[in-house]
Structure 1
């Protein structure tokens, strides 16, 4: 009992616990990766949305400054006259913290407000970069105006018809306006704007201790300026993640337990079938031993009776007496047949088996089977193999099996019918099929037909099929019977092909 319990525990470990652990780990890994991909995709979408708005924001600003640059070219001789235009532009658009016209050495010529004094030098580095490149330049970081307002500087070159730099148009972009605009798009998103040197220009919802590793951030370039926009991949929701893990582990555990129960059920059925088969074998051996010993005890006095009957038959010549003696002899022969079945049912004596051509055996039995079929008004369909099929067995016992089965078929067709005998070779086995169109066998009866002494006939001994199976098993063969009530029965005999030299 302890051994069986230990075996069950080992099976549970290998069928339930280990697969649950490994399967849950694998499925959790897949689920985590899928969720991470979803968050990465979401972060990538946010990054592209913000990058697109940055591009539009810069494009609109540059367009506005280019319009002012055209006006500056027209008023080149007196750029101070542009102040009203700069003031109106600055007031009409909340993005601006100020708009200025600078000389090529960085000196303020005019502006939209008086935060800076006239002729003051302003953002020399940006102006020098515009002079060098004659291109649009944006400051690498935010800075504060005298009124503590944080801004970014965007400079656009003003060129004459000869493509010579004559001045610089510079707008101060309010950082708080940009932040509000981006925050409206995706509130709560954590993002950074980095300049060309990967230095932080501005950040949104960023904690100081957040590491900037590539696995947790999505980076998208801003087309109009040499900046990058980075969005942090959202952290997984702890509650939803926990529920997902619990569901996965629970589902795997349920499936593995169902599998365990199915395997245990199959093992129990297999064990029950083996025990039943073992019990049948033991019962058959016990019955066989008893039958064989009884048969020996019966055969000895029966031999004496048969001899005395023969002597009496020689002494009495009267026809009536001879009729009685013939009846007695027939009954003695019948008893001998039953005794012979008893002996086979017991442990059979060692017989010398040799390769026998089953096709030839069937041909030898054909006249006998045909005469009995004709007597019972039964059509016989005989399909023996044209090629010899050798099986290792004893010829007489093989004949006994075939005649026993055909006799049962004739008895099942009292009102006539059809008996079909087919012999064929399939791979390494010999297959003999004997089919009839008789009354058939009930389902509840067919399960008991190989039980010793069980019979559905009034005069049967219940040993015929048992003996047939015992003989065929001794040849290494099998017998299988299928039947449908009122339609007929098919007996399938399979035997291993003998190796002939």
Structure 2
């Protein structure tokens, strides 16, 4: 592989493959992240609804309990009321496992009664949630986890007990943190869940070991009932699964690009082969021209002498048997002279006299010769010319030679009672000459060789006639093409530029 091929290989295979693999990886990564976000939103919705419902149920229960306690405090004396309240608190705490303890405090924050004695030696007056409940006269939730003397982590909820629009007492319940965690862990065991307050300080978390530092996918969602944020995270990333998919895609792309590279290389080799073939043909023609230029005159001069002597001998020996020999000799001398003339045309282009003529005039001049040739072969011949003038810039003699050669080929290829048509059409920039016959046609495998030097299907042909015609037409800036189907005739199409367009260029 040379330097040029390596460059093509890099720009067709290596560079596009790298870009495609990178693009595929980013596409799959974005899609995986989007799917992960959707999963996190789904998990967040579950826990947010569950947490909001849990807090709402707890607050409703505390409000109902506060109303009950308020009625008990109004109807009984303090001792009986305290005993009645304690029974009510224990009864409620026993029915719901979420409670770690329920307590009734006085206005100063000291314990009056409760389901246990864990707060007996404590005054909760300065707790933020107690102050919020006294200030707002509404249920307040703690922003941090409290650990009781029995090592039980809880979250406190305070509800004021009102009497005549004044806070008579404070109802405090401890929500067991392990109970809340178990619910969350049961709902989504593969995700890490954290609860943080409005200051983004973590309150508690569940499955925190599942979240890794580097691969953590996290999303934050606010709760409706509390000024808390629900943080959902997981290390169940799909990034690792992208590598096999990307590798498979890269392998497929690499194979396709290799196929494309091979196709491009094939086209380039085909073009190079065609170019080299054209160069070889040009070299052949140049060699023929060089040989013809050096030997044409040396061949023609003795031929002229030989032809003259043969004519003298023909006049001297007029025996019928000798006449046959002289005819053959004269025919072969003419054939040699024709071959030499074709060699000269095939050689290097020489200065030729170009004229601007009406192409119809050439056909008018040649029409008697072509028609007599058609009569000789018993062929029907028809010429169709347009009424308007068609001016082209050509060499008249060479153009006549082309037309005579092509019509003669058609006559020689025809069977008797065949037909040859010559039609001239005028286009916008070119004129078109079509010479068609209904002869046997040309085999498909021979069509690509008909303009090759020395290729002929005739027994006595030189294989230079069509090459000479092509050379002449191309020297006029035109083209010549042959269409044929074996058994259905042949059409020769010649295109010549009109004089006005040629001069403008």
**Normalising by structure 2, what TM-score?**
0.82
**1:452-471 to 2 correspondences below 5 Å:** 452-471=453-472
**Is 1:116 aligned to 2:82, yes or no?**
no
- Given candidates 2, 5, 18, the residue that maps to 1:5 is 2
- Distance verdict in 2 for CA 1:212–1:5, change over 3 Å: closer
1:411 aligns with 2:412: yes
Answering whether residue 128 of structure 2 is matched by residue 125 of structure 1, we say yes
1:287-436 correspondence to structure 2 within 5 Å: 287-291=288-292, 293=294, 295-305=296-306, 307=308, 336-358=337-359, 361-362=362-363, 365=366, 369=370, 376-378=378-380, 380=382, 382=384, 384=385, 388-414=389-415, 415-417=417-419, 419=421, 421-425=423-427, 429-436=430-437
Check conservation: 2:190, 2:234, Cα contact below 8 A.
no
1:104–1:127 CA contact under 8 A, matched in 2: no
Q: How does 1:36-435 map to 2 (within 5 A)?
A: 36-78=33-75, 80=82, 81-117=84-120, 121=124, 124-158=127-161, 165-206=167-208, 216-234=217-235, 236=237, 240-291=241-292, 293=294, 295-305=296-306, 307=308, 336-358=337-359, 361-362=362-363, 365=366, 369=370, 376-378=378-380, 380=382, 382=384, 384=385, 388-414=389-415, 415-417=417-419, 419=421, 421-425=423-427, 429-435=430-436
Q: Distance in 2 between matches of 1:35 and 1:172?
A: 41
Decide which moves more: 78-87 or 369-378: 369-378
Deviations 1:102-150 (CA, angstroms, capped at 9, x unpaired): 4454344443444333995467421221232234321111111222111
Q: Contact 2:357–2:392 (CA<8 Å) still a contact in 1?
A: yes
How big is each residue's C-alpha offset from its partner over 1:356-400, in whole Å with a ceiling of 9 and x where there is no partner? 444554565556556656774546473x56655544421221232
CA distance in 2: counterparts of 1:417 and 1:394, whole angstroms: 28
CA contact (8 A) 1:480 1:493 kept: yes
> Counterpart of 1:439?
440
The separation in 1 between residues aligned to 2:66 and 2:389, in whole angstroms, is 110
User: Do the aligned residues in 2 keep the contact of 1:194 with 1:200 (CA within 8 Å)?
Assistant: yes
* Residue segments in structure 1 that go unaligned for 5+ positions in a row: none
Cα shift at 1:202: 0.8
Q: Which segment drifts farther, 483-492 or 316-325?
A: 316-325
Offset, 1:485: 1.4
* 1:75 aligned counterpart, secondary structure: helix
Number of residues paired by the alignment?
Answer: 494
Q: What secondary structure is seen at the aligned counterpart in 2 of 1:421?
A: strand
Question: Within 2, Cα distance between the matches of 1:49 and 1:268?
Answer: 65
Q: Secondary structure at the match of 2:181?
A: helix
SS of residue paired to 1:343: helix
CA deviation map 1:453-480 (0-9, x unaligned): 2211234332211111121232233323
Q: Post-superposition shift, 1:158?
A: 4.8
**Cα deviation, residue 286, structure 1:** 2.4
C-alpha displacement of 1:220: 0.9
Q: Deviations over 1:231-269 (max 9, x none)?
A: 225364675344345334433433333333333322222
Q: Secondary structure at the match of 2:2?
A: helix
Which sits farther off after the overlay, 128-137 or 323-332? Answer: 323-332
CA gap of 1:289–1:93, structure 2 versus 1, over 3 A, is same
- Residue 481 of structure 1 is matched in structure 2 by 482
Q: CA RMSD in A?
A: 4.0
Taking structure 1 as reference, are residues 59 and 410 closer, same or farther at Cα in structure 2, changes over 3 Å only? farther
* Range moving further from structure 2, 437-446 or 322-331: 322-331
Distance 2:122 2:74 in 1: 16
* C-alpha deviation, 1:77, in angstroms: 0.9
Q: 1:30 to 1:309 in 2, by over 3 A?
A: same
Tell me, in whole angstroms, the C-alpha distance in 2 between the residues paired with 1:265 and 1:326. Answer: 55
Instruction: Name the CA shift for 1:183/1:379 in 2 (closer, same or farther; >3 Å).
Output: farther
Q: Partners in 2 of 1:212 and 1:337 — Cα distance?
A: 90
Cα 1:321–1:14 shift into 2, 3 Å: closer
Partners of 1:212 and 1:327 in 2: how far apart? 102
TM-score (norm 1): 0.83
Per the TM alignment, residue 324 of structure 1 is displaced from its structure 2 partner at its CA by 10
